[in-house]
Amino acid sequence: MRFAIFSDIHGNIFALKACFEKLNELSVDRIIWCGDYITDIPRSHEVIEFIKSAISKYTSYIIKGNREDYIIEYNKSKDNTWTMENNNGPLLCAYNELDDEDIKFISNLPNEYIIDIPNIPKIYVSHKINYDMDKKYRYKIFGHSHKRCSFVKDTVVYINPGSLGIPTNGNAGADFSILELDGNNYNIEDYHVQYDILEPIQAIKNSIIYKTRIKWGSALIKSICTGSDYIQIYIEKVLQIAREREENLGNIPMSIWDKASKGLNL
């Protein structure tokens, strides 16, 4: 039995389609989806539509990630502190793409999934790594970090396929993994798919996320091109400058964002 493992698509429909082209060559039975399908690349609605189609064709085990939770909570509360000119800009951009059916779809996803198939050990799926209840499961599948890894701890096999949409391992492209099970035996295959990164770059440039004073779009483009997490680099630079100036970290002036943008050539 062969499971494809996808995580952290982050709105990158272009990378997702490229990975499915590769998947057609690999004789996969089932798909495990580890969350964070939306936000960042401004194609969140298209990603959800693609996933809906995929789960109608493949046996799928799908959970939500923290990005889905952010959008669900915002939809409930309509928190008016979200704007395109603060930390929540990429989230607000994604929220404005989604329709009621998209919100309903992600709201119905569970936070975790236990795959219990006869004749193979149980598989636990979560978005973030979970070390609890280790001995109940043979395999634990997770995402969130955007960094591919697999290791064994206390007889449990942990597998993170990396990020399909925005890898941060220094290698531009799309990452996913396949877990092959035969009774108690397993094999992990890791794949890195090259695709036309000009497509998500152009999508970003055509979006409001590229036109804001806070340079979210430019940081995303550098992330896609380099495989480095420029969103996090950008935020850390902003916080460093704010601390140096003894500014309130909860209300950072736009001048600091501007200085960080210039320092990182965004």
For residue 127, which of 110, 102, 105 has the smallest C-alpha distance?
110
Q: Is residue 136 within 8 Å of residue 73, measured between CB atoms?
A: no
Domain co-membership, 35 together with 157: yes
Domain co-membership, 8 together with 77: yes
Residue finishing a domain among 138, 164, 193:
193
pTM: 0.95
pLDDT digits (tens, 9 = 90+) for 188-235: 999 999 999 999 999 999 999 999 999 999 999 999 999 999 999 999
pLDDT digits (tens, 9 = 90+) for 88-129: 889 999 999 999 999 999 999 999 999 999 999 999 999 999
Average pLDDT over residues 40-45: 97
d(CA 61, CA 134): 20
For residue 241, which of 262, 210, 265, 226 has the smallest C-alpha distance?
262
Domain co-membership, 175 together with 211: no
For residue 148, which of 158, 133, 156 has the smallest C-alpha distance?
158
Domain co-membership, 66 together with 155: yes
Domain co-membership, 162 together with 130: yes
CATH for 126: 3.60.21.10
Question: Into how many domains does the chain fold?
Answer: 2
Helix (H, G, I), strand (E, B) or coil at 171: coil
Domain co-membership, 187 together with 206: no
Q: What is the helix (H) or strand (E) element at residue 155, kind and residue range?
A: none
* Domain range enclosing 228: 200-263
